[in-house]
Amino acid sequence: MKDLNPAQAEAVTYSAGPLLVIAGAGSGKTRVITRKIAYLIQQRGLPARAIVALTFTNKAAREMKSRLAQPLQGRTARGLKVSTFHTFGLGLLRRELKSAGLRPGFSLFDPQDGEALLQERLAEARLGEIAPAAALARISQWKNDLIAPEAAISAAEDDFEAALATLYGDYERRLRAYNAVDFDDLIRRPVLLLREHTAVRERWQARMAHLLVDEYQDTNTAQYELIRLLVGAHGAFTMVGDDDQSIYAWRGARPQNLARLREEYPALKVIMLEQNYRSSGRILALANGLIAHNPHLFEKRLWSALGPGEPVRLLTCRDEAHEAERVIAEILHGHFAAQHAFGDYAILYRSNHQARVFEQALRTHRIPYFLSGGQSFFARSEVKDVMAYLRLLVNPDDNAAFLRVVNRPGRGIGATTLEALGGFAAAQHISLLNACAAAGLTGPIKTAQSTELRAFSHWLEEMRGRARAEPVAAVRALLKACDYDGWLYQQTGRRAAAERRWQNVESLIDWLEALHKGERSAGALRDADLEDLTARLTLLDVLERQDEDEGGDRVHLMTLHAAKGLEFERVFLVGLEEELLPHRASLEAEPQEGAGIEEERRLCYVGITRARRTLCLTHARRRRRYGETVRCAPSRFIDELPANEVRRDNDPATAGEERQRGKAHLDALKAMLEADTGMG
């Protein structure tokens, strides 16, 4: 414990009852969680299989596992569960299939599947004016709040809400018919299962000696209830979080769960981690001064032993173009005058649309950059095709997967045939794929098309049999048999584009193979079957984005929400203006506990505490909005910062620095011009 400070050491060794660790930004919370897991196994003698650690992202789970690799080796770590909430929920449902009312091979619907399921019903429900994504978001809110369709209908305040609630009930019935769950169900259904089945609940509580949860402030109602049902009345848990970093109320997070925890477990011990190992003293003074304007359940004040550091600067800009120019000038000055790497810099903003002008300026000056939040690997069309084939192989009832691949590659099955097939399947109460091989199909469907559908069904059945023995080899054989790479070329018409898309398919299969080999080498009792592998890949579809760790020596561009959990040497927090940060929606929304302006202030606090060495804030006097230029008021958060900790750009000291940066800017432009003309 020599490398832990006193508060960290206390959090690691405390095991007399329920524990809440309020971990300030940069205070070493991951170290505390991983060291506590090792302590519970090595010092307290708990079996690894009786410990569960939950977090919100695959990246965080991977980091925990990597940090545990050295202290826990071989048999010591066998059975230890470190995963996301959703992965844990998936595993629980798979182990309790019968009690959960599911059949083997159930499908996991991603948001696009859910939207497709709702699309055809919206018009029938007289909700044609609402987008499927918006309807699905409302259903997600109900699920996260553990509100059943019947309760949603009863609580509806108008006809529109009642129609949406009715649609919710129809959506649930269709999921059951397809033997499918969506991502919210990975939390909600385990909660309902543990509530309603005493024997199942007691069995899970008995096997869990200690539960650890990271980013506890981001839990929603369903996640809070899942935790409560898993630990039972004795409350053998360690919750780690920070109420000042709760920024996800818009997706259901309930920071008040911190207060509920203390109410429900009177013996709860609270330990504060206030020493920050990331940022300079001046940056922390700014963060403390800002967040002091929010009400607090747990008072804390971050401090650092790293020294005061460089002054925090505030730049006032004419408009968004001038804002981008000044930020780029700062980066060029640091790169050429002080040899700072481009990868040291991050530009953080409230809304995605703010990135465009910075991208333009970075490209103009040939500065490499990395835009976080690009297209997900799993959102690529060819990847979704292969995933749909995988889902259909493990679950013949998955109608969404069937509709995606029945004509990919093309099989001459038109919309009229599919509509007739749908009617036939509904009348027979069977899935679309099963209807392809059912007796009587030639009645509603022409012979040529019914023959094609039967052949498709029989071919998939053959592939399903092969997949039981060798899942990865079967997938390769399936794609070869249907000449999928040839079809990609026909679709694109360009060999290079087709090869890029096929490379994505190969990457997916390599990933599948790596998961399969990983299961074998992890000492599992049996090889992972295609059902296991498909479920895990489908989870990655939503929980991960390609390139999330591949910034390299490039300037990072990202929203404040995306920056949560990250840190950078040098940060520009841009657009500190009213209606931008704080966002206009937070000013117009009805006040809610912990949300609105308070959450916007926490978001600004998160941005400030991403910085290690330097922090620069910017705001513009004017900005283009909806095609016209409007005047912008400086953010109220600027006035809430300690004035003596902010150096404004009208200070005499700042004016000299501006001239230096302008010279660096011109020198860089000259160097690029010489390179272009061959004069250098």
Q: Which residues are catalytic?
A: 29-30, 214-215, 245, 610
Question: H helices of 14-131, where?
Answer: 29-42, 58-68, 85-95, 97-100, 111-122
DSSP-assigned beta bridge partners for residue 348 = 558, 573
b/e map 491-524, b = 16+ CB within 10 Å:
beeeeeebeebbebbeebeebbbebbeebeeeee
**Token digits of residue 462:** 């053959």
- Please list, in sequence order, all residues whose beta carbon lies within 8 angstroms of the beta carbon of residue 16, skipping any fewer than 6 positions away: 269
- Please list, in sequence order, all residues whose beta carbon lies within 8 angstroms of the beta carbon of residue 432, skipping any fewer than 6 positions away: 399, 402, 403, 406, 421, 422, 425
Distance set, CA 534 to CA 34, 375, 389, 465, 659 (Å): 29, 21, 10, 16, 58
- Please list, in sequence order, all residues whose beta carbon lies within 8 angstroms of the beta carbon of residue 344, skipping any fewer than 6 positions away: 334, 568, 569, 570
- The length of the chain, given as a count of residues: 680
Say which residue the tokens 């859910």 belong to: 114
Strand-by-strand arrangement of the 237-241 sheet: 81-84, 51-55, 210-213, 237-241, 19-23, 269-273
C-alpha–C-alpha distance, residues 452 and 591, integer Å: 58
DSSP string, 461-517: HHHHHHHHH-HHHHHHHHHHHTTHHHHHHHHH--HHHHHHHHHHHHHHHHHHHHHHH
* Nearest Cα residue to 7 out of 387, 330, 271, 301: 271
DSSP string, 210-264: EEEESSGGG--HHHHHHHHHHHTTT--EEEEE-GGG---GGGT--TTHHHHHHHH
* Nearest Cα residue to 393 out of 507, 527, 508, 530: 530
- Please list, in sequence order, all residues whose beta carbon lies within 8 angstroms of the beta carbon of residue 480, skipping any fewer than 6 positions away: none
579, 625 in Cβ contact below 8 A? no
- Please list, in sequence order, all residues whose beta carbon lies within 8 angstroms of the beta carbon of residue 678, skipping any fewer than 6 positions away: none
3-state secondary structure of 314: strand
**Token digits of residue 463:** 């592939």
Distance set, CA 191 to CA 227, 231, 397, 538 (Å): 9, 13, 25, 21
**Token digits of residue 664:** 């660096």
CA 414 centroid distance within chain = 37
Say which residue the tokens 């020294």 belong to: 307
Instruction: Specify the amino acid at residue 1.
Output: M
41, 72 in Cβ contact below 8 A? yes
| Region class of 352: left (phi > 0), else alpha (psi between -120 and 50), else beta | alpha
DSSP state of 429: T
Say which residue the tokens 């360009």 belong to: 494
